[in-house]
Amino acid sequence: MTVLSGAISDKYELVVGLEVHAQLSTLSKVFSSDSAAFGAQPNHHISPISLGHPGTLPRINKKAVEYAVKMGLACNSTINLNNTFARKNYFYADLPKGYQITQDVKPICLHGSIKVKLTDGKMKDIAIHHIHMEEDAGKSLHDNHSENSLIDLNRAGVPLIEIVTEPDMRSSEEAGQFLTETRKLLRYLDICDGNMEEGSMRCDANISVRLKGATEYGNRCEVKNLNSIRNVQRAIEHEFTRQIGIIESGGRIHQNTLNFNADTGETSVLRSKEMANDYRYFPEPDLTPLFLDEAYLNNIRQAMPALPNELYKKYVNKLSLSEYDATVITAERELAMYFEGLIKHTTNYKSAVHLLMGPIKSHLNESGLSIIDIKVTPENLAGLIHLVDSGKINNSVATHKLFPALLASPEKSAIQLATELNLLISDDGGDVSGYIRDAIAKYPDKVIEYRKGKKGVLGLFMGEIMKSSKGKIDPQKTNQLLIKELEAK
Instruction: Say which CATH number the domain at 457 has.
Output: 1.10.10.410
Tell me, yes or no, whether 433 lies in a domain. yes
pLDDT in tens, the chain (489 residues): 566 666 788 899 999 999 999 999 999 999 999 999 988 999 999 999 989 899 999 999 999 999 999 999 999 999 999 999 999 998 888 888 899 999 999 999 999 999 999 999 899 999 999 999 999 999 888 777 778 889 999 999 999 999 999 999 999 999 999 999 999 999 999 999 999 988 899 999 999 999 999 999 999 999 998 989 999 999 999 999 999 999 999 999 999 999 999 999 999 988 775 565 678 899 999 999 999 999 999 999 999 999 999 999 999 999 999 999 999 999 999 999 999 999 999 999 999 999 999 999 999 999 999 999 999 999 999 999 999 898 888 888 889 889 999 999 999 999 999 888 888 876 554 466 666 767 777 777 766 666 766 777 777 766 776 776 666 666 666 666 667 667 664
Are the C-beta atoms of residues 80 and 72 closer than 8 Å to each other?
no
What domain range is 105 assigned to?
Answer: 6-295
Question: Same structural domain for residues 194 and 146?
Answer: yes
Task: Say how many CA atoms lie within 13 Å of 9 toward its Cβ.
Answer: 13
Say if strands 221-226 and 256-261 run parallel, antiparallel, or are unpaired.
Answer: parallel
DSSP helix/strand/coil, 206 = strand
Q: Report d(CA 330, CA 350) in Å as an integer.
A: 15
- Indicate whether 23 belongs to any domain: yes
Q: State the Cα–Cα distance between residues 105 and 282, nearest whole angstrom.
A: 10
How far, in Å, CA of 335 to CA of 325, rounded?
A: 12
Q: Are residues 328 and 290 in the same domain?
A: no
93 falls within a domain: yes
Domain assignment present for residue 12? The answer is: yes
Residue 1 covered by a domain: no
Are 290 and 345 found together in one domain?
no
Q: In 203-228, which positions are buried (b, 16+ CB within 10 angstroms) versus exposed (e)?
A: bbbbbbbbeeeeeeebebbbbbebbe
Question: Based on the domain organization, do 71 and 180 belong to the same domain?
Answer: yes
Q: Which of 413, 444, 463 is the last residue of a domain?
A: 413
Cα–Cα distance measured from residue 478 to residue 189, given in angstroms and rounded to the nearest whole number: 50
Shared domain for 46 and 176, answered yes or no, is: yes
Do residue 280 and residue 313 come from a single domain?
no
Residue 400 lies in a domain: no
Range 45-49 contact pairs with CB under 8 angstroms and sequence separation of 24 or more: 45/154, 46/153, 46/154, 46/156, 49/157
**What residue type is assigned to position 364 of the chain?**
L
How many structural domains compose the chain?
Answer: 3
Does 229 lie in the same domain as 317?
Answer: no
Structural domain ending residue among the three candidates 413, 444, 461? 413
Residues 154 and 256 in one domain: yes
Residues 10 and 77 in one domain: yes
> Does residue 61 sit within a domain?
yes
Whether residue 136 sits in one domain with residue 97: yes
Helix (H) or strand (E) run with residue 127 in it: strand 123-135
Claim to verify: residue 263 and residue 370 sit in the same structural domain: no
Residues 463 and 366 in one domain: no
Q: How far apart, in whole angstroms, are the C-alpha atoms of residue 238 and residue 172? A: 10
Q: Cα–chain-centroid distance for residue 112?
A: 20
Q: At 277, which amino acid appears? A: N
Angle at 158 between CA 236 and CA 89, to 5 degrees: 70
Domain boundary among 413, 448, 475: 413
Query: Does any domain span residue 301?
Result: no
